[in-house]
Amino acid sequence: MTRPIVLVTGATGGIGASAVREIESVDGAQVISLSSSDFNLDEPSSIDKFFSERAFSNLEGIVLCAGVNEPRSLVETDHDLWMRTMGINVLGHKRILDHVLPIMVRSGGGRIVAISSLYGRIARKGRWSYSSSKASLEALIRSVAIEYAEWGILANCVAPGFVATSLTTKNNTGTQIAELVRRIPLGRLAAPEEIAKVVRFLISRENTYITGQTIYIDGGISIS
């Protein structure tokens, strides 16, 4: 019997790599890890080329995990940075879905999970382009959930708060991280594995009725 396939973009990052490990334990799925070496999310032609050269007839799920976050104030965010952020965080993944959704329709359904962010809901200095892109990603996934429900396709977002990854360390000083931890009701950063466990459920056959949702995994900071 051919094993179902689950694709994971951004598979080399902290959350992406953890998601791959979790999903590999579900339903005997074959997880295909994708990174920038496979295609450039900011170049639609490279995405088209990737899918034209491969057949994924037994594709069951995809996790859209790749993304960029380059903090810059409003006035410092020029057109190029804005377009790069939207291109990678939203438009590139929409292009992937252009290829994936027809496959899922033909095969009778599937699961889609996109990694959003707490910043899709709240604001912070220097995060305008990133916040905008994540809010747009969530809108995209809600649209997929509505338009493809009749074909048995369930689409959701997971919105992490502050996670112990290299990106968090890169974009925050030690003092800033300490202040963030102070504000989190649970008093710590999330481990990547804690995000991955929720992704694993949503992408699996166990999820039969959750669609069009954004699930926050943030230690309570969004309600504090």
What's the CATH code of the domain at 94? 3.40.50.720
Task: Give the pLDDT band of residue 25 (cuts 50, 70, 90).
Answer: confident
Q: What is the mean pLDDT of the chain?
A: 93
Query: In 10 A of CB 34, how many CB atoms?
Result: 23
In a domain, residue 58? The reply is: yes
Nearest-angstrom CA–CA distance, 159 and 198: 10
Domain that includes residue 118, residue range: 5-161+193-216
The string of pLDDT tens digits covering residues 121-131 is: 998 888 899 99
**pLDDT for the residue numbered 1:** 54
Percent with pLDDT over 70 in the chain: 98
**pLDDT for the residue numbered 167:** 78
In a domain, residue 137? The reply is: yes
**pLDDT for the residue numbered 27:** 63
Q: Are strands 5-8 and 30-33 parallel, antiparallel or unpaired?
A: parallel
**pLDDT for the residue numbered 166:** 80
The string of pLDDT tens digits covering residues 185-197 is: 999 999 999 999 9
In a domain, residue 123? The reply is: yes
The answer to whether the beta carbons of residues 73 and 123 sit under 8 Å apart is no
In a domain, residue 61? The reply is: yes
The string of pLDDT tens digits covering residues 113-123 is: 999 999 999 98
Amino acid at 215: I
Which range is least confidently modeled, 13-17, 93-97, 114-118, 149-153?
13-17
**Residues recognised as catalytic:** 130
**pLDDT for the residue numbered 224:** 86
In a domain, residue 183? The reply is: no
- What tokens appear for 76 in the block? 């410092």
- What is the tally of structural domains in the chain? 1
In a domain, residue 148? The reply is: yes
In a domain, residue 57? The reply is: yes
> Does residue 45 surpass a pLDDT of 90?
yes
The string of pLDDT tens digits covering residues 149-187 is: 999 999 999 999 999 988 788 878 899 999 999 999 999
